Amino acid sequence: MPDIKVTPLGAGQDVGRSCILVSIGGKNIMLDCGMHMGYNDDRRFPDFSYITQNGRLTEFLDCVIISHFHLDHCGALPYMSEMVGYDGPIYMTHPTKAICPILLEDFRKITVDKKGETNFFTSQMIKDCMKKVVPLNLHQTVQVDEELEIKAYYAGHVLGAAMVQIKVGSESVVYTGDYNMTPDRHLGAAWIDKCRPDLLISESTYATTIRDSKRCRERDFLKKVHETVERGGKVLIPVFALGRAQELCILLETFWERMNLKAPIYFSTGLTEKANHYYKLFITWTNQKIRKTFVQRNMFEFKHIKAFDRSYADNPGPMVVFATPGMLHAGQSLLIFKKWAGNEKNMVIMPGYCVQGTVGHKILNGQKKLEMEGRATLDVKLQVEYMSFSAHADAKGIMQLIRMAEPRNMLLVHGEAKKMEFLKDKIEQEFTNGETTSIVTNPSVPVDISLNLLKREMALGGPLPDAKRPRTMHGTLIMKDNSLRLVSPEQALKELGLSEHQLRFTCRVQLHDPHSDNDTLGRIYTHLKRSRADIQHCCATGVPRSSPGSWTFPEPGPTLSPTSLRYSTVLSK
């Protein structure tokens, strides 16, 4: 029986370094290749040793698919392709291909140029890696080779994010990456057709959460920011450069305009201009409202939000600063946090998920003293608020996707083990990194049926064809030119240039009977004749005429001579 094997090399039961290996129909596909925000050592990258025991990855993998540009899904890509060794195709959407190298270079600068780490990929490696990328269009079926095909679906989440269907023959897997089933101010909701895959691999970041209405969250967010600014405090909003940043910028820009507020809003990354450029370039990936109003007004050209200079962090008075990265694990957001953490007037609003081990995760868990680099201790006195603007599906959204796709099996990844318990009835097996889960499939083999055979079956009577009630058909199966056809025996003989043959099957039966041979043969003949008449009567009327007779013979003894009988029948065709 064919099976599908799933081996997480990362994000099996945590969030970070997403890397899922799927083996289907003899093909090996790597889904995402991310890094972990909570580690600064070898654990930040997936454990590729599991699949490099027999040489380079090129010999093992048929393709790599990247769902979107967040570093926990693509951050290890140059390391995997250029340092571990992979020369095969890497598939991602056009926006992901455009934005991914910018974020990878930004990540490299922080890690190598600022932290001075070695054994890390270079700028040239990023460029060489991106040369292997094959761009995907939504709903376009791409033939990787003669047997393997992939198809991308809109995932929401961030610009260019895609869910991917993988098919080999009649077996299929859908991998969601990160997705959002709720439309927001700049992106639409994820969508997939009723593809009924053998396996749906879904993220489960918010498996235990059912969010309140988006309008309530936006109102609470604006209220917190406004109150802090009114009392002269500073608001730090750690975000990733693209995604929630644009969502919250649109929200604050509209509110500042409506309320005529004067407090400055800054965005602390040089990626802002590039981000806006990509949103213009890929406007078709945004929601309907932005596409409709784009000609009159570009929502990503902000009047009230200016570029941030690090010297502004010491300026007196209120301000709002969007700073990267989003989990306070490094970069500008952590530097600003260190400066503002000691003032009770200030506030940090965490708008998304924080991986365990990051500063963001620690302060959300109420930690008031943080051990920083060099064993320095930081007192956290500012207010800490968590407001989920994360563009991940909640429990309700995951269930909605299941109803959409109607998978035969379900696996949850990219979540915490305890939260996965909430949806355990949807999982065939629980697994952690390095363990393999096998899904047994029942592949269907498509067969064309000749019109003549269908007409003949209909002429025989019986119920009309019903898709929900399988019906047995008798014919000859012909395999020709990689296709299967069911035709009538006469048509098969004609097409194949064969003549009809008869096979005679003979069965020898030995009886012991005290009567003479002629008497015994007469009794058998009479019995068979009567049985044949009963069968004909039963077929004609549907009612048995008499109960079938039976023979009884005495136990064979020394006085009985064996009588050998031969029974023959002819089978045609």
Please identify every residue annotated as catalytic: 203
Q: Is the peptide bond before 325 cis (omega within 30 degrees of 0)?
A: yes
Q: Are 257 and 304 in contact (CB under 8 A)?
A: yes
CA dist 109 and 308 (Å) reads 19
Sheet-wide strand order for 265-267: 305-307, 265-267, 319-323, 234-238, 347-350, 383-386
Q: How long a stretch of residues is the chain?
A: 573
What does DSSP assign to residue 241? T
Angle, alpha carbons 422-350-347 (nearest 5°): 140
Q: Count CA atoms closer than 13 A to 548's CA, side-chain side.
A: 8
One DSSP character per residue, 384-402 reads EEE-----S-BHHHHHHHH
Measure the CA–CA gap between 511 and 562, rounded to whole angstroms: 6
Task: Decide if 192 contacts 163 (C-beta within 8 A).
Answer: yes
Residue 10 CA to residue 265 CA, distance in Å, equals: 37
Beta strands 234-238 and 319-323 are parallel
CA distance 203 to 394: 10
408 burial class (0-12, 13-18, 19+ CB within 10 angstroms)? middle
- Residue 286, classed as helix, strand or coil, is coil
CA distances from 432 to 52, 66, 192, 203 (A): 19, 21, 27, 14
Gap between the Cα atoms of 11 and 15, Å rounded:
5
Q: How far apart are CA 391 and CA 187, in angstroms?
A: 10
Q: Using CA atoms, how far apart are residues 545 and 534, in angstroms rounded to an integer?
A: 6
Structure tokens at 297: 């007004």
- Token representation of residue 416: 């915490």
Q: Which residues pair with 321 in a beta bridge?
A: 236, 266
Q: 23 pairs with which residues across the strands?
A: 5, 28
User: Tokens 């020898």 correspond to what residue?
Assistant: 508
Q: How far apart are CA 25 and CA 3, in angstroms?
A: 8
Q: Which DSSP letter does residue 315 get?
A: -
The kind and range of the H/E element at 440 are: strand 437-440
Distance CA 515, CA 517 (A): 7
